Structure 1
Amino acid sequence: MQITPDDQEDADIDWFATDSNGHILHVASGGGILPESVAASQEVLLELHQYFLTLPELEVAEIVNGADEASSHRSVARYARRGLFSFEKTRLHERADTRYHLVARPLQPLLVTELPKPIAELLSRTKLPIPVAQQTSIDGSGIL
């Protein structure tokens, strides 16, 4: 089932993408517009969400912007502890604003090539055309 524009605006939806180097991103939508590839299937999004949250936690992630593990960034850091670069919307509930900032960086990044093939195929539907490892912010409008 597709995620409607109204549902996107009313929720903070966790979604996932890969970058040009095969790194994996977690993005908290903050009420923003989802990429078409993400909005196309609520079931795919749920499958990816469940997969990543069942991975074992690795080393403690690097929390950025002066936050610590006890802060409001705790929920997004859980993805970084599983190897994903974690971003959140910069201006919450400003639907048309597509800017996101880095909240947590994995110490040991997970690559799409390390995933089971069915999960990698689902994840590869949504791509950031640049490498994410050195980015502190991204523009969601560039995600395919």
Structure 2
Amino acid sequence: MAYSIQEQHSRDLDWYFIDGNKKPIHVATGGGKLPKIIEENDEKNENLHAQILQLPIQYEIEINPILNEFVNFENEELRELYLTDFNEMAGRGFISLDKSNLGNFEDGIYHIVAYPKGSIISKGIELNIDEFIANDLIIDTQKNSSLDLLKLFENDK
């Protein structure tokens, strides 16, 4: 099966890849277009996501210090609610990204929301996911499991 266009538009889907430094990345689509490999493998992506949600939260987290340049919060309560899932992913060892331009389905620009403390990340970095797709850095959900991801986490302790 595959994610339909309607499903991609209407859901905030999660998917994962490894960056050039072998860091695990979590992406929340915010109703944006998925990379083709993820779009075509909805069941495998959902299974991977379920496995990742079972990983323990074991890392201290940091929030992007310029997050307010990407997301406007009416109050602190809404900010904390927004951060919940991103903090949990960062606590599992992922650099966690959100879509920067909501409402623009084709736009592949994302910003960092939260990340494990001590990660080497440039402050204010914006990542274009299309660049990672071109470099074959997407996690192949057919070949990787949460156990493979755990091996990556061991290097960060």
TM-score normalized with structure 1 length: 0.76
Structure 1 segments (4+ residues) deviating >3 Å: 66-69, 132-135
RMSD: 2.1
| Match status 1:141 vs 2:151 | no
Letter in 1 for 2:6: D
Structure of greater Rg: 2
| Match status 1:96 vs 2:85 | no
Cα 1:13–1:52 shift into 2, 3 Å: same
Q: Secondary structure at the match of 2:117?
A: coil
Partner of residue 42, structure 2: 42
Alpha-carbon deviations, 1:81-110, whole Å to 9, x = none? 00000000011121021110000011266x
Distance (Å, rounded) in 2 between the aligned partners of 1:140 and 1:80? 18
Partner of residue 26, structure 2: 26
> What is the number of residues matched between the two proteins?
122
Q: Secondary structure at the match of 2:110?
A: strand
Return the structure number with greater helix share. Answer: 2
Distance (Å, rounded) in 2 between the aligned partners of 1:59 and 1:16? 18
TM-score normalized with structure 2 length: 0.70
Deviates more, 1:24-33 or 1:61-70: 61-70
Q: Secondary structure at the match of 1:55?
A: coil
5+ residue gaps in structure 1? 110-131
Partner of residue 13, structure 1: 13
5+ residue gaps in structure 2? 134-157
Letter in 1 for 2:109: R
Q: Secondary structure at the match of 1:105?
A: strand
Give the conservation status (yes or no) of the 8 Å contact 2:19–2:132: no
**Deviation, structure 1 residue 47:** 1.5
Percent of aligned positions that are identical: 29
Give the conservation status (yes or no) of the 8 Å contact 1:35–1:143: no
Give the conservation status (yes or no) of the 8 Å contact 1:8–1:34: yes
